[in-house]
Homo-oligomer: A and B are copies of this chain.
C-alpha cells in the first residue's frame, strides 16, 4: 500500500450499506401500485436502489446536485488530443456562466450544478513518462472531491468531468487495472484522427509498462488525473453519507473503478447513467458488473449522460412513491 492511498484505505474499511428494509419496502410497493406487477421493470429497480441509499421508503429526487470536476493533463505533450488545455479554462468559465451543455441540462432538470476546478492551469505529470500525481497531490485532489460532496444538500448526485486528454488517462487506468489489449480501452475521445489514435494507443501501452502491476489506488495516482482522483474522492464521500450517485461516462467510470477493485462492493451506491460511445466503456462496465441505463452514443462528458439518466431516475422514484396502491385506491388486486 502506498502512502498516497492511505486515506482511501481508511474510508474503504468502513462503508455503510443501504437501508435494506427501505429498499425491500419500495420493491414491495412497486408490486402493489395501480399497474401490473413488473410492468415498469428497470424503473422499479431504480426506485428500490434509490430508496436503499436515501434510507427512506418514499424515495424522491427533489434536490439533485451535479458535480463536474475539471483538470489539465500533462499527457497532451504526446499529441493525444485534437484540443489543448486552454479549452478546460474556457469550459470552466462557460460552465460557471451557465452557457455550457451541462449548465443547460442542469437548469432543465432543476439540478444544482457546480464546476470544481481541481487542476486547471496546473497540469499533471505526463503519464507516459512519470507519475501523473505525487502522493501529496493525490491526497489533495481526493480531499477536494470529498469536500465538494460534503458541502452538498442533495438527495442524489451526478458526477461528471471535463479535461482535455482525460480519455487517455482513463484508458491507461483501465488497461493497467484490468489487462487486455490497450487498443480495446482506447477510443477517439473528443474526436482525434487516425494518427492521433495510434499515438494514444502507444501512450497507453507505454504507460502500462511503466507502472506495471501496482495497487489499484496507486494506478489511479500514476495514470489518472486531478479530476479523476477528485471523482474517486467524491464517490467515497457519497458512500460514507449513503448518498446515491449517478456516474456519467468512461472517464468517470475509470476514475472510480480502482475503488471497486480495491474493495468489491464500494460502488454499490452508484448507477451507470449511460453507455458512452467510447469503446472501452462497455468493457469497463462489464468488469464493474454495472448495467447502463441509457445507450445514446453520447461522448461529451460534463455529466451529460448522467443527467439524462437523472431525468429517468426522478420519474422512477415518483412512479412508486406517488402512484396509489390498489388498496389505497379501494380496490382488491
Contacts and interface: CB of A to CB of B under 8 A. Distances in A.
A40 interface: yes
A91 B295 CA distance: 32
Interface in A69-124: 83, 90-91, 94, 99-101, 103-105, 107-109
Contacts of A105: 315, 318-319
Contacts of A314: 108
A304 B40 contact: yes
A108 B320 CA distance: 13
A104 B323 contact: yes
Given A329-B94, A331-B90, A300 B36 contact: yes
A6 to B, nearest CB: 37
Interface stretch (A137-145, A216-224, A255-263, A305-313): A305-313
Given A108-B315, A318-B108, A298 B190 contact: no
A333 to B, nearest CB: 10
A149 interface: no
A16 interface: no
A319 B315 CA distance: 20
- What class of interface size applies to chain A in its complex with B? 35 or more
Nearest to A99: B324
A7 interface: no
A210 interface: no
A277 interface: yes
B299 A307 contact: no
A298 to B, nearest CB: 6
A209 interface: no
Contact of A297 (B35, B41, B294, B307): B41
B104 A318 contact: yes
Nearest to A297: B41
A154 interface: no
Tell me which of A36, A39, A191, A323 has the highest count of chain B C-beta atoms within 10 A of its own C-beta: A39
Contacts of A90: 329, 331
A33 interface: yes
A40 B324 contact: no
A296 interface: yes
A39 B190 contact: yes
B100 A34 contact: yes
A298 B104 contact: no
A264 interface: no
A322 interface: yes
A91 B326 CA distance: 11
Nearest to A86: B331
Interface in A27-43: 33-43
A84 to B, nearest CB: 13
Contact of A296 (B43, B108, B300, B324): B43
14 contacts: A33-B101, A34-B100, A36-B83, A36-B300, A37-B191, A40-B300, A41-B277, A41-B296, A41-B297, A43-B296, A99-B328, A99-B329, A105-B315, A296-B312
